Amino acid sequence: MTTPPTAPLAGLKVLDLGQIYQGPYCGFLLAMAGATVVKVEPPGGEAGRARRAATLPLAMLNGNKRGIALNFKHPEGRRLFMELAQQFDVVLENYAPGVMDRLGIGAEALLAANPRLVYASASGYGSWGADRDRLAMDLTIQATSGAMALTGWPDRPPVKAGPAFADFLGGTHLYAAIMTALYERARTGRGRRVEIAMQDAMYPPMASNLTVFFENPQAPLRTGNRHGGLGLAPYNAYRAADGHVTIMCVTPGHWGNLVRAMGRPELADDARYADHPARAAIMDEVDALVEGWTQRHTRAELQALAQAHHFPCAPVRDLAEVVADPHLHARGMLQRAQHPDLGEVVLHNSPLRFEGLDPLPLVREPRLGEHTAEVLAEYLGLDAPEIARLAASGALGAAAPKAA
């Protein structure tokens, strides 16, 4: 794959040991900003490849990367990785804390061999502290972070968010940590270790809920689709003639705009609805008033009225509508692709955009070990007989013996 020399991260070299969502998403963002990203997997493949050689998450999060397979349980596999790390700028991984150190290829060893390296690790709870060795997945982090306690309705059990927010918040923060360390390296010439903990990244998004908690610890935590701060009304999902829409009023002008769209302009001057505290005190009545209007209109009609009258409103869409969204396709964020194993799928580009640079075209994710031979030849100067010897010894994984 060719990266335009004008891409922001052109020339940056990354060894991506990410697995499942968190690490691979960080590597994907780096790749789509122009970095050369080499995905490093064990002989059996990363955890996200454990049951099937090709899955949609693998395709979504590992495009535009090259793929190699090394056996870190083999001394020569570890040696090869150490030698590669001396040629690269970044190593990222989201193994459990201590795994890479026990193999002898953790941050301390790699930074001793390459002081300019940025070693980036992501885990559930961080590399130090009482909880560092607790097993972590997106669900457990949603639970322990408090996010699940805030999601759902007050008279029902807590529920997780549908998307894997903790994993992707982790991957995004890992990208930020890497870029911060690279900026520092540009000034000092030295790399460093950086890390993120998924639990740490989950605290800031709860700002509204924490505001309520500190003001009134007895206030209900779960508010359904209503605002977590309990101070905004209307703020909810409302029935439409063909589904649901979300409507929220934030500024004083939004309420006036909404009631004019409803054909009830007199409510803008009604003291009972004068401001957020007044409307929040009669939230059920406000929601019934709004829904009595929305259910007589389609989602498209409501969206058009919101646009004309200037108040926040959006349809609640299903995934079939989202993957066909003409706006996302026109922006290049989504594109249809014919995948050799999965058939027609819709894949995403990077949300990061750089003025004057078109989004990089998506390249299929590597198969397990697909580029092992060419990467070892390119960066370590190994010839075909040596690569074949390493493959026979068990130091490499799949698709190794094919060198220039």
Q: Distance (Å, rounded) from C-alpha 156 to C-alpha 351?
A: 35
pLDDT reported for residue 56 = 94
Whether the pLDDT of residue 402 is over 70: the answer is no
Q: What is the third-level CATH fold of 235-316?
A: formyl-coa transferase, domain 3 (3.30.1540)
Report yes or no: 72 and 80 within 8 Å, Cβ to Cβ: no
Q: How far is CA 303 from CA 2, 93, 186, in A?
A: 42, 43, 48
- Catalytic residue numbers read 167
pLDDT reported for residue 403 = 44
Token look-up 């007199």 returns: 266
13-203+341-393 has which CATH code?
A: 3.40.50.10540
Please write the tens of the pLDDT for every residue from 208-235. 899 889 988 888 889 999 987 667 899 9
Report yes or no: 190 and 122 within 8 Å, Cβ to Cβ: no
Cis peptide, bond prior to residue 234, ω within 30 of zero: yes
Report yes or no: 238 and 245 within 8 Å, Cβ to Cβ: yes
The whole-number average pLDDT for the span 55-84 is 97
The whole-number average pLDDT for the span 262-266 is 96
How many percent of the chain have pLDDT more than 70? 97
What are the residue boundaries of the structural domains of the chain, listed by start? 13-203+341-393, 235-316
pLDDT reported for residue 404 = 42
CA angle 355, 357, 363 (to 5 degrees): 140
Whether the pLDDT of residue 51 is over 80: the answer is no
Q: Distance (Å, rounded) from C-alpha 319 to C-alpha 330?
A: 18
The whole-number average pLDDT for the span 254-273 is 96
Task: Provide the 3-class DSSP secondary structure of residue 232.
Answer: coil
Report yes or no: 299 and 305 within 8 Å, Cβ to Cβ: no
The whole-number average pLDDT for the span 162-189 is 97
Please write the tens of the pLDDT for every residue from 317-328. 999 999 999 999
Q: For residue 394, give every residue at least 6 positions away whose Cβ sits within 8 Å of its Cβ, in sequence order, or none.
A: 43, 71, 74, 77
DSSP letters for 132-155: TTS---HHHHHHHTSTGGGSS-TT
Whether the pLDDT of residue 349 is over 50: the answer is yes
DSSP letters for 289-308: HHHHHHTTS-HHHHHHHHHH
Amino acid, res. 37 = V
pLDDT reported for residue 352 = 96
The whole-number average pLDDT for the span 263-272 is 95
Q: Distance (Å, rounded) from C-alpha 303 to C-alpha 105?
A: 55
Q: How far is CA 138 from CA 51, 171, 209, in A?
A: 19, 12, 20
Mean model confidence pLDDT for the chain: 94
Task: Provide the 3-class DSSP secondary structure of residue 334.
Answer: strand
Please write the tens of the pLDDT for every residue from 6-41. 899 999 999 999 999 999 999 999 999 999 999 999
The whole-number average pLDDT for the span 235-242 is 97
Token digits of residue 147: 């996010």
Token digits of residue 313: 């409103």
Where residue 54 falls among pLDDT bands split at 50, 70, 90? confident
Please write the tens of the pLDDT for every residue from 124-134. 999 999 999 99
pLDDT reported for residue 114 = 98
Please write the tens of the pLDDT for every residue from 90-127. 999 999 999 999 999 999 999 999 999 999 999 999 99
Q: For residue 363, give every residue at least 6 positions away whose Cβ sits within 8 Å of its Cβ, in sequence order, or none.
A: 1, 63, 64
Task: Provide the 3-class DSSP secondary structure of residue 266.
Answer: helix
Task: Provide the 3-class DSSP secondary structure of residue 75.
Answer: helix
Task: Provide the 3-class DSSP secondary structure of residue 354.
Answer: strand
CA angle 100, 18, 28 (to 5 degrees): 145
pLDDT reported for residue 399 = 57
